[in-house]
Amino acid sequence: MNLKTIIGIGAYVAVLIAASLWVGQQAYGWLPPQATAESMLIDDLFSLFSTIGAFVLLGIAGVVLYTVFTQSVSRFDTSDGPHMEGNIKLEIVWTAIPLLLVFFLAGYSYQTYQQMAVRGPMDLVHLHHLPGSTPTAYAAEMETEPVEEVEVYAKQWAWTFRYPDTGVVSSDLHLPVNRRIRLLMTADEVIHGFYVPAFRLKQDIMPKRVTEFEFTPIREGTYRLNDSQFSGTYFAIMKANVVVESPESYRQWLASAAAQPAVPAENPAYSEYTNKRLKRFGGWKTVEPATPPLVNAISES
């Protein structure tokens, strides 16, 4: 390799590094607001992957485009290129570097996962486990701070949340900010998924089983809860609001809700099903939506 080649490669790599670092910073902007402690960890990891990914993609694309623009010949040119069959050193390098890179990325992801300490789902493969027992090993150490427990019920197609201490039932999920939250989630008939994009967290909810899930909201605001595991006809509108608020307003809300009588909640799936005037093209018989749950606190929006 002569000096010119080395300088050329050096300059190319420098430009690539600068561009990838820029992409890595942009990556934060491709994500929703960070509303949990876990979301910050995930965003940092995503930014790292984006940086490395951009380096790989731009690096390869640059070489390919450079070759296309400098090495193209007329289709009537019948000459051949040099007969290069391979290069053992080069092939070892481009096997070893990706190998090290994926070990690094897997290790880094593993570390992030441990820090998140999402209280994992129970080991559903082993059927002898009792529902609600045996969290995964990675969630072992914490558990000193107080935890706010909320029961989550998913059915086709409605979310309901029950606060065990007060007995309040709500169609919005209210959570105090900066407190560890533990959800005890159950589904009625089919698998649903608990997913709040601003929390970056997702967990399938199995029918007839309690799945525990933990996280810490850190930012007040109203967020969207989606069903993330396809659950049938009205899957798209099985949503709920998640209200993260200060501990004071959270307690106030609980107290005022506890004083309310239970009334049927508003339920988009049920109203769409019973609205006979709604006419769209085609369609077949569907599983009927469950009747709207009775709640003390109806949705605010």
Partner 1 sequence: MTNVPVEGIKIPDIAHPEPQNNWRKYFSFSTDHKVIGIQYLVTSFVFFLIGGLLSMVIRAELITPPADLIDRTLYNSMFTMHGTIMIFLWIFPSLVGLANYLVPLMIGARDMAFPRLNAAAFWMVPVFGILLMTSYFLPSGTAQAGWWSYPPVSTQNPTDSVITGEFIWILAVAISGVSSIMGAVNFVTTIVRMRAPGMTYFRMPAYVWTVLSAQLIQLAALPALTAGAIMLLFDAAAGTAFFNPEKGGNPVLFQHFFWFYSHPAVYVMVLPIFGVFSEIFPVYSRKPLFGYKVVAVSSLLISGVSVLVWVHHMYASGTPGWMRMLFMASTMLVAVPTGIKVFAWVATIWKGKLRLDTPMLFCLGALLMFVFAGVTGVMLASVPIDIHVNNTYFVVGHFHYIVFGTITMGMFAALYHWFPKMTGRMYFEGLGKVHFILAFIGTNLCFLPMHLAGLHGMVRRVSSYDPEFAFSNVLASLGGFLLGMSTIPFILNMVGSWAQGKPAPDNPWRAIGLEWLVSSPPPVENFEALPIVVSGPYGYGKSDPLVENAAALKEG
Q: Which of 1, 125 has the CB closer to partner 1?
A: 125
Q: Smallest distance, Å, CB 152 to partner 1? A: 15
Query: Shortest Cβ distance from residue 291 to partner 1 (Å)?
Result: 16
Amino acid at 201: L
- List CB contacts of 196: < 8 A, sequence separation 6 or more: 35, 223, 224, 225, 226, 242
Among 20, 35, 37, 42, binds partner 1 (CB under 8 A): 42
Which lies closer to partner 1 via its Cβ, residue 60 or residue 262?
Answer: 60
Q: Does 285 bind partner 1 (CB under 8 A)?
A: yes
* Residue among 24, 176, 193, 293 that touches partner 1 (CB under 8 A): 193
Query: Contacts with partner 1 in 88-117 (CB under 8 A)?
Result: 90-91, 94-95, 98-99, 102, 105-106, 109-110, 112-113, 116
The answer to whether 201 and 213 are in contact (CB under 8 A) is yes
Binding of partner 1 at residue 9 (CB under 8 A)? no
- The residues with which 170 forms a beta bridge, in sequence order, are 161, 297
DSSP summary character for residue 300: -
Among 122, 152, 240, 295, binds partner 1 (CB under 8 A): 122
Distance CA 290, CA 156 (A): 6
Which of residues 179, 182, 209, 219 is near partner 1 by CB under 8 A? 209
* Residue 283, helix vs strand vs coil: coil
The token pair at 59 is 């690096």
Separation between Cα atoms, residue 47 and residue 44, nearest integer Å:
5
Q: What are phi and psi of 203, to 5 degrees?
A: -155, 130
Q: Binding string, 45-74, against partner 1, x = CB under 8 A? A: xx--xx--xx-xx--xx-xx--xx--xxxx
Residue type, 31: L
Q: Which of 206, 198, 200 is nearest to 154 (CA)?
A: 206
Paired strand residues for 174: 243
User: Per-residue contact track with partner 1, 214 to 243, x per CB under 8 A?
Assistant: ----------x-xxxxxxxxxxxx------
User: Would you count residue 191 as binding partner 1 (CB under 8 A)?
Assistant: yes
Residue 292 makes CB contacts below 8 A (sequence gap 6+) with: 158, 264, 265, 266, 267, 270
Q: Which residue lies nearer to partner 1 by CB, 127 or 259?
A: 127
Per-residue interface string for the shown chain with partner 1, residues 148-187, x marking contact by CB under 8 A: ----------------------------------------
For position 5 contacting partner 1 by CB under 8 A, the verdict is no
Q: Please, which residue, 99 or 294, has the CB nearer to partner 1?
A: 99
Q: Which is nearer to partner 1, 137 or 259 (CB)?
A: 137
Q: Which of 148, 174, 146, 151 is nearest to 161 (CA)?
A: 151
Q: In the set 201, 240, 243, 257, which binds partner 1 (CB under 8 A)?
A: 201
Minimum distance, C-beta of residue 136 to partner 1, in the bound complex (Å):
4
For residue 162, the minimal CB distance to partner 1 (Å) is 21
Verify binding: residue 16, partner 1, rule CB under 8 A: no
- DSSP secondary structure of 192-253: EEEEEGGGTEEEEE-BTS-EEEEE-B-S-EEEEEEE-S--STTGGG-EEEEEEE-HHHHHHH
